[in-house]
Chains A and B, each alone.
Chain A
Amino acid sequence: SQQGEEDPQALSIQEGENATMNCSYKTSINNLQWYRQNSGRGLVHLILIRSNEREKHSGRLRVTLDTSKKSSSLLITASRAADTASYFCASRGGGSEKLVFGKGTKLTVNP
């Protein structure tokens, strides 16, 4: 299956620092999406990047996509305690409607 994998599994930083999370996938994709999930709650869509895009910004979020390496990164700048959550990448491609999720990175931002 086209299992995405996030790296690192857990990340702990201080408020104000930048947080970088990486994601790798195995097959060709149409797009890749990043989601966040607060403990015990549903997923919230953050940002989507298409296969023909290399970088995208949304507020304090920056996403890059390298289709040659089958990888993506999510950068959260000037982190806040409220950014504490798990972050998942999800990819869709190969003519399939399935959205395949990675296992997630648990981010802790310490005040």
Chain B
Amino acid sequence: GENVEQHPSTLSVQEGDSAVIKCTYSDSASNYFPWYKQELGKGPQLIIDIRSNVGEKKDQRIAVTLNKTAKHFSLHITETQPEDSAVYFCAASISSTDKLIFGTGTRLQVFP
């Protein structure tokens, strides 16, 4: 069945450094790849997404890259701030459905 692997499971960085989270998906027909940020006790918040016809997308300090050949995509956060601390989930669409399959999450801690 469809699967999304996410690494690392935890990531600690110093404020101002960059953070990179990587995901690999199994369904070659997946065409939509969102990233969610979830703070403690809250619902996931969509922070950026990318579709299969685009290789990279950037929004201020966050960017996502997609390599369809290798079936992996990554989230890049530059100039990290303590408020970036949260759990981040990647997801991939399941072909021909309106469903997503989620990665296992990465707990990011940004130390001042």
Question: Is the pairing of A and B real?
Answer: no
